[in-house]
Amino acid sequence: MNKVDLQRRSVLRRLGGVAALSALAGSGVWVGGFRSSALAAPASTATAGSFDVGLRLRAHPDEVSILPGAPSDVWRYTAERIVGPEDTLTPVGESYAGPLIRLRRGQRVHVRIDNELPEDTTVHWHGLHVPSDVDGQPRLPIAPATSTTVAFDVVDRAGLYWYHPHPHGPDGGRVGFQSYAGLAGPLIINDAAERALGLPDGERELVLILQDRTFSNGNELQYIGGGGMGAMMTRMRGFRGEQVLVNGHPDARREVSTQPYRLRLLNGSNSRIYKLAWSDGRMVTVIGTDGGLLAKPEQRRSVTLAPAQRIDLWVDFGDTEPGESVQLVSEEYQLGMMGGGDMMDRGMMGQGMMGDRMDGMMDRGMMRDMMGSERLPLVTFAVVARANDAGTLPERLAQDLPASPVQADTPVRRFELSMRMMQGFTINGRQMEGATVADDEMVRLGETEIWEFVNNTMMPHPMHVHGLQFQIHERVGGRTDLHDGIIDAGLHDTVLVFPEERVRIALTFKDFEGFYMYHCHNMEHEDAGMMRYYKVVA
């Protein structure tokens, strides 16, 4: 496959200028003008004291040791706490991952974002209910060597969210490239209701970011490069790395004691779907999803985690002896409904997706690779100590989950996911066209709708909606190896829609007017234009 280094030379060349400029940008007063009109305080009178949390977040190139041997060039977030509780920022391993930002419901947060990269970027608060102008949308890019400030109130439920870049210019998106280069970090919201449950915390609460990466012999990150058939196929499937890194490290291992743990997983991969399971066959116990805790725990043989999704797991190593270890793995799976190669021959080629010329050039191995995944070890939990205070899993978890907002007359808005020859994936026949919305992409403030995603393609699409958490209402059709591991209970901001499947979600557009986005969170699909704005109007 034709891949390319992480623009090392051009990055370094352009950095000379950027570094000097960013020193200038950094000399201003850190509380700048606000973008958010929803905030009461006028920019001129606001001070750091008006906020419970004040952060400075830098996006910048760096060198980080990932594999043994030479360090790797990355792009990363680093943050500094200006005001706020001491536990607001915690490093995630010693790697490129952005720091864990820990917020409390009810806080007012102010973030100054410095772009020290050689290209435009934004910072999107994935999953958070924030005003349109602080959502990090591509229509508000932060130019190299400039800063912006955003401020918002923390109104979401306790849960694991995350932040990542969202740039998309006239030539396409750079989300895949920039997050692959290392720009992504976790964000946890805590609240009193969750604390009252007494779930494992401190050393027994682990945030685990799953990302797959490919390295050159010199340890440089490699991403899709150039034109060519291989690159084209990779863009269509989405980029997949040769190895999985957890919190930026290969061969992840954690030492644990014979006690319950809370594992908070984020799939920060560009396109890879994981089928999470325990190596000793124990059931996977799920306590939460994208938007926080479930009403009660759910158990599965395996759990499906698509890009951008989070899952909250509870595991008790109390039945394991010191000296033993248990692995969290991603099991092998096939997505082809008719079995790999067959499906490609009859389905994909039959539809003439890439034209006749392609036929002879693709072998079945490549097809199988597109439609499934081999088994991958993720994290080894080595039980090293015995502990007594076991603690049990509450039978009831969240009591603040909203009831279904769906009524007999709730309107249904339909989104057909299709493939346009040589162009890529579309939503209702459209692709990203900047901050423009069609008539059928306007929704009313305060209203509830059902959105129905119909997948007419042979690929799964993790569909994400900005600015809110939704409920998954119904799933029809599409049976795959991954369906048993689907958790539809609770609140979500990203839902996986399988080939030949129709999924209905229920959303309510509250509090904020303006532009938001909806898109496939396979980052290569999104960057190729499988993304649109929608607009909330009063």
Positions in the binding site for ligand C2O (CB under 6 A): 124, 126, 164, 166, 308, 464, 466, 517, 519, 521
Q: DSSP letters along 2-27, please?
A: -EEE-SHHHHHHHHHHHHHHHHHHTT
Tell me if residue 294 falls in helix, strand or coil.
strand
Distance CA(202)–CA(71), nearest Å, equals 30
Contact status, residue 75 vs residue 182, Cβ threshold 8 Å: yes
Region 453-482 residues binding Cu ion, contact defined as CB under 5 A: 461, 466
Q: Does 272 bind Cu ion (CB under 5 A)?
A: no
* Binding letters toward Cu ion, positions 391-430, x by CB under 5 A: ----------------------------------------
| Nearest residue (CB) to Cu ion, 310 versus 461 | 461
In 27-152, alpha helices (H): none
DSSP state of 283: P
Taking the chain, what is the end-to-end CA distance rounded to the nearest angstrom? 50
Distance CA(189)–CA(292), nearest Å, equals 9
Q: Does 492 bind Cu ion (CB under 5 A)?
A: no
Region 501-530 residues binding Cu ion, contact defined as CB under 5 A: 520, 522, 525
Tokens 């059902």 correspond to: 450
Q: Does 532 bind Cu ion (CB under 5 A)?
A: no
* Nearest distance, CB of residue 22 and ligand C2O, angstroms: 25
* Nearest distance, CB of residue 142 and ligand C2O, angstroms: 16
* Nearest distance, CB of residue 112 and ligand C2O, angstroms: 21
Which of Cu ion, ligand C2O, none binds 38 (CB below 5-8 Å, type-dependent)? none
Q: Does 213 bind Cu ion (CB under 5 A)?
A: no
Structure tokens at 114: 């410095």
| Nearest residue (CB) to Cu ion, 127 versus 260 | 127
Give burial (CB, 10 Å; 0-12/13-18/19+) of 401: middle
| Nearest residue (CB) to Cu ion, 313 versus 417 | 417
What is the maximum alpha-carbon separation in the chain?
A: 67
| Nearest residue (CB) to Cu ion, 98 versus 118 | 98
Count each helix (H run) and each strand (E run) in the chain, helices first.
Answer: 7, 36
* Residue 378 backbone class (left: φ over 0; alpha: ψ -120 to 50; beta: rest): alpha
* Nearest distance, CB of residue 270 and Cu ion, angstroms: 11
| Nearest residue (CB) to ligand C2O, 254 versus 521 | 521
Which of Cu ion, ligand C2O, none binds 532 (CB below 5-8 Å, type-dependent)? none
* Nearest distance, CB of residue 180 and Cu ion, angstroms: 16
Which of Cu ion, ligand C2O, none binds 184 (CB below 5-8 Å, type-dependent)? none
Identified binder of Cu ion from the candidate list 102, 112, 126, 519, rule CB under 5 A: 126
Which of Cu ion, ligand C2O, none binds 168 (CB below 5-8 Å, type-dependent)? none
Element (H, E) at 533: strand 531-537
Looking only at the bridges linking them, the beta strands covering 514-520 and 461-465 are: antiparallel
Tell me if residue 8 falls in helix, strand or coil.
helix
CB-nearest residue to ligand C2O: 126
User: Which residues make up the interface to Cu ion (CB under 5 A)?
Assistant: 126, 461, 466, 520, 522, 525
